[in-house]
Structure 1
Amino acid sequence: MARLIAFFTRRGARLLTGTRSLWIGCQPVPKQRIYYANHNSHIDFILLWSSLPTIMRRKTKPVAASDYWLKDGFRQFLIKDTFNGITIQRNRDDHTDPLQPVKDALEQGYSIIFFPEGTRNLNDDIELLPFKSGLYNLHKQFPDIEIVPVWISNLRRVMPKGAFIPLPLLSTVCFGCPLEQHLDMDKAIFIDYAQKQLLKLKEVENQ
């Protein structure tokens, strides 16, 4: 049942949004990766996940906020059973590592879909919210896993705040080049580098 719902959700989301996938910096091959993207809507991980070939989707887990996706039984069924996702607490408890479920998935060989802004960017005048430290921490602990930037365009207009059904509009999911390994970078420099590599994809997509 969960796979059937995932199939129709994936097909429906791509049909309604007219999503096209651009692999300009890497190839869609079954390789363990951390895909990090801009975050504008609750359906952005669905579009990114659905842009992956089937063999890659089966080994890729989206990371989502537990305060939204565990709010009721239906959302919990979608994120856990349909999309095989990981939920994390955004309000950090000093005694726990909110990224531990993500690290566990990476240690098990899964790829992940990660949103380093930490929350949705609902401001049309800001391209990206400041990145949290999560992506940097994952890079330090898993230096051999490719980190691939992914720019998702038009999602703010596809799924406006408060909307239940996506509006028909062309959306693009653009996959860039994996980040170069920079284990000697401090956190601030790495975050700035990761943000710039992501924003480059917006420039490419608009050309």
Structure 2
Amino acid sequence: MSFSPDKTLVRALLVSLCRLLTGIKARWQSVPQTERPTIYFANHSSHLDGLVIWASMPAAMRDKVHPVAAADYWQKSRLRRYLSSRIFGAVLIARNGKSSKPLPDENPLVPLIDVLEKQESLIFFPEGTRGSGEALGEFKSGLYHLMQRYPEAQLIPVWLENLNRVLPKGSKLVVPIICSATFGSPLSGPAEHETKAEFLDRAKVALEALSHA
């Protein structure tokens, strides 16, 4: 991989800034299998969530881990577009569930499957939108359909603590608060006779359990 001065320097700056503002502490319940495509699925209460998970990872992993983010937010300005595409390598999805760019089959999973097929990983928020941070919302069907399309992916729940207080919903002011990211043990994908609702409930329970870890 060629050296890109702007990418390397901006990444280092953002990781340092993220750690300064959040004091983020990462806890791993199992050793990450970096050679295997993984879906890191997490609770969502702040625009900083994807950055915090990404910054919590060892530097060697970041090139192959891509946050899934809202296109309408990250395409609003030149700076956001630069950060999302050049620095984070984010996969941008429209909030109505469609990709930010038209696809031949209009399947919103296509850009996500493309990442996994390259043996790279995703940071995914199954609630689909930001919550209050006080309680975990219902999971949308995306996680289930993603695992149906690419069952080889590894599932890792990630519980974020206090991110809703760092950047409260509706606020542009960042408040320095100690936060944590707990990476759980791998979760198996949908079983043969497991319904969509049963799988999503199992995934949600596994994520919620990390809030007490």
TM-score normalised by the chain length of structure 1: 0.91
Partner of residue 187, structure 1: 196
The answer to whether 1:107 aligns with 2:105 is no
1:32-82 Cα shifts (integer Å, max 9, x gaps): 211000000000110100111111111111110101111121111110011
1:109-135 Cα shifts (integer Å, max 9, x gaps): 1111000000000263xx111111111
Q: Structure 1: which amino acid aligns with 2:32?
A: P
The answer to whether 1:34 aligns with 2:39 is yes
1:126-152 Cα shifts (integer Å, max 9, x gaps): x11111111101111221211000000
* 1:38-77 alignment runs, 5 A limit: 38-77=43-82
Q: Distance in 1 between matches of 2:195 and 2:133?
A: 29
User: Which secondary structure does the structure 1 equivalent of 2:9 belong to?
Assistant: helix
Displacement, 1:159? 1.1
Query: 1:17·1:166 contact (CA, 8 Å) conserved in 2?
Result: no
The answer to whether 1:172 aligns with 2:180 is yes
User: Which secondary structure does the structure 2 equivalent of 1:112 belong to?
Assistant: strand
Displacement, 1:203? 1.1
Q: Distance in 1 between matches of 2:23 and 2:54?
A: 15
Partner of residue 139, structure 1: 147
Identical columns (%): 41
- Please say which of residues 173-182 and 109-118 is displaced more in the overlay: 173-182
TM-score normalised by the chain length of structure 2: 0.89
Q: Distance in 2 between matches of 1:29 and 1:101?
A: 22
Query: 1:67·1:89 contact (CA, 8 Å) conserved in 2?
Result: yes
Partner of residue 81, structure 1: 86
Q: Distance in 2 between matches of 1:3 and 1:86?
A: 20
1:134-178 Cα shifts (integer Å, max 9, x gaps): 110111122121100000000011111233342111100000011
Displacement, 1:2? 2.7
Q: Structure 1: which amino acid aligns with 2:195?
A: D
Partner of residue 129, structure 1: 137
Please list every run of 5 or more consecutive structure 1 residues that lacks an aligned counterpart in the other structure: none
Q: Structure 2: which amino acid aligns with 1:6?
A: R
1:72-114 Cα shifts (integer Å, max 9, x gaps): 2111111001111110122145961122111111111111100
The answer to whether 1:23 aligns with 2:28 is yes
Q: Structure 2: which amino acid aligns with 1:145?
A: A
Query: 1:117·1:132 contact (CA, 8 Å) conserved in 2?
Result: yes
Partner of residue 3, structure 2: none
Q: Structure 2: which amino acid aligns with 1:139?
A: M
How many residues are treated as equivalent by the alignment?
201
Query: 1:35·1:148 contact (CA, 8 Å) conserved in 2?
Result: yes
CA-based RMSD of the aligned residues comes to: 1.6
When residues 115 and 92 of structure 1 are mapped into structure 2, their CA distance, relative to the original with a 3 A threshold, is closer
